Homo-oligomer: A and B are copies of this chain.
């Protein structure tokens, strides 16, 4: 769910430089192959600085996850002038069209591995609980804006957001772990759902599927 491309420009400070090196090393080696030493290889400052800041690989990765979530939150405007239906379509397309503005496959795979750490590590579970809450609240905000402007029907925004998020997360997980190539079908059906569940009658598109 995190778009990381834009922060790979000139880092603003040491933390950002560490986060860039972590991102690159994650994409190259994945979680399983990652070590602080490998992150240091891509870090222009001293390796001892890295060990000074973080006691373990997992501590560094938890800080990386927090950093990426902060960036996501900063990038989402509290109020947007863009039409809610366009904002929702942008979310669906970013999640399910890898390589087209969305996270690339290597990063998606690394995130899948990080998320799986939550199965046995409460610190990761705490992070992903927050991550999922933030992401779902963003969806709820878009749906509420659409209901208010009259372009969406009056739905249970929490319930619709939970379902949308599950479908997006499942679709991304499948890209990373099974490469079924089913993203296009999932995305087409998600659009059917949005058209019929959310779009008010006079705004409803004709479904050609």
Residue of B nearest to A188 (CB): B159
User: CB within 8 A of A170: which of B128, B160, B167, B176?
Assistant: B167
Q: What CA separation (Å) do A196 and B156 show in the bound complex? A: 16
Size class of the contact patch on chain A: 35 or more
Given the known inter-chain contacts A166-B167, A170-B171, please indicate yes or no for A119 contacting B177, CB distance below 8 A.
yes
Number of copies: 2
Q: Does A129 contact B (CB under 8 A)?
A: yes
A81 contacts chain B at the CB level, 8 A cutoff:
no
Chain A interface mostly helix, strand, loop or mixed?
helix
Q: Does chain B have a CB within 8 A of A90?
A: no
For the complex, is A193 an interface residue (Cβ under 8 Å from B)?
A: yes
CA distance A196 to B196 in the complex (A): 9
Closest to A155 in B: B209
CB atoms of B190 and A115 under 8 A apart: no
Which A92-109 residues sit within 8 Å CB-CB of chain B? 109
* Cα–Cα, bound, A113→B31 (Å): 12
B118 engages A33 (CB within 8 Å): no
Which residue of B116, B129, B168, B178 contacts A112 across the interface (Cβ within 8 Å)? B116
A166 touches B162 (CB 8 A): no
Q: Write 8 A-B pairs (CB below 8 A) sorted by A numbering.
A: A32-B117, A119-B177, A129-B178, A158-B185, A159-B189, A162-B182, A162-B186, A193-B197
18 further A-B contacts with Cβ under 8 Å, apart from A30-B119, A116-B177, A196-B197, are A31-B119, A109-B120, A118-B178, A129-B180, A136-B180, A136-B182, A156-B209, A159-B188, A159-B189, A163-B185, A163-B186, A163-B190, A165-B174, A165-B182, A166-B167, A166-B171, A167-B170, A170-B173
